[in-house]
Homo-oligomer: A and B are copies of this chain.
Amino acid sequence: MTDKLELNMNAYLPLRDVVFHTLREAILKGELKPGERLMELQLASRLGVSRTPIREAIRMLELEGLAVTVPRKGAMVAKMTEKDMEDVLQIRKCLDELAVSLACDKMTQQQLEMLNEARKQFEESTRSGEVKLIAQADVEFHDTIYSAADNPKLMTMLNNLREQMYRYRVEYLKDESAHSGLIAEHQRIYDGLVNKNKEVVVKAIGEHIMNQEMVVKNIIREQE
């Protein structure tokens, strides 16, 4: 592991939060790999803080499912098996269907416009080829739907579930041949929401998730 970690000290937040965000980013980007140990003293010296905020950040990562700790042995970056991924996606499919179904009832004209913007933005981003940008645009698209569902708890949970597969999804988005499929799926979801056709949107989002499952599971299988 190269010494890439660095804190953004400008944020006016308790160090535990800064450390938490830093470590989370590092895990999601793959700088900290699954199974890698998270040693307090080492992290503390690398980040230039004491052990206290590190420990509290680890507690937070733990409950997000990104770290696993064994008492008196320490923490490590959570590993994810194919089965784990199946489990997560099963839940995500179910909750994403709920979210889109709620959004179908509640979405305002303004939110629909935002969604269309996000959709176009995503399409554009794929032309740039920058994975970071594509991922961001995708998050934007789904977040718009989530916030229209008007259930903050649901939004939090979905973001957390999405986060857990983010490490693998980055690989997925690198594959340019998948882009046109994603664009079409977004289009179908958007159209369904415009027409307030619940059946269509639920089906569309379900397939959207299941397609991801295929690809991400392949990536995991290759890694092992």
Residue A1 at the chain B interface, CB threshold 8 Å: no
Q: Any chain B CB within 8 A of the CB of A55?
A: yes
Query: Is A64 at the interface (CB under 8 A from chain B)?
Result: yes
The reply on A13 being an interface residue by CB < 8 A is yes
A66 to chain B, nearest CB (A): 11
Interface contact A153-B88, CB-CB below 8 Å? yes
Which of B17, B72, B84, B95 is in CB contact (< 8 Å) with A94? B95
Name the B residues within 8 Å of A91 (CB-CB): 95, 98, 151, 153-154, 157
Q: From residue 9 to 63 of chain A, which have CB atoms closer than 8 A to chain B?
A: 13-14, 16-17, 52, 55-56, 59-60, 62-63
- From 51 to 102 in chain A, residues with beta carbon under 8 angstroms from any chain B beta carbon are 52, 55-56, 59-60, 62-65, 71-72, 84, 87-88, 90-91, 94-95, 97-98, 102
A84's nearest neighbour on chain B, judged by CB, is B153
Pairwise interchain contact B152-A87, C-beta atoms closer than 8 A: yes
Chain A residue total in the interface (Cβ 8 A): 30
Partner of A95, one of B60, B84, B95, B151: B95
- Chain B residues with CB under 8 A of A60: 59, 62-63
Question: A91 — nearest CB in chain B belongs to which residue?
Answer: B154
Residues of B within 8 A of A59 (CB): 16, 56, 59-60, 63
List 16 interface pairs A-B (beta carbons < 8 Å), by A numbering.
A13-B71, A14-B71, A52-B52, A55-B56, A56-B56, A87-B154, A90-B98, A90-B151, A90-B154, A91-B95, A91-B153, A91-B154, A91-B157, A94-B94, A94-B98, A157-B157
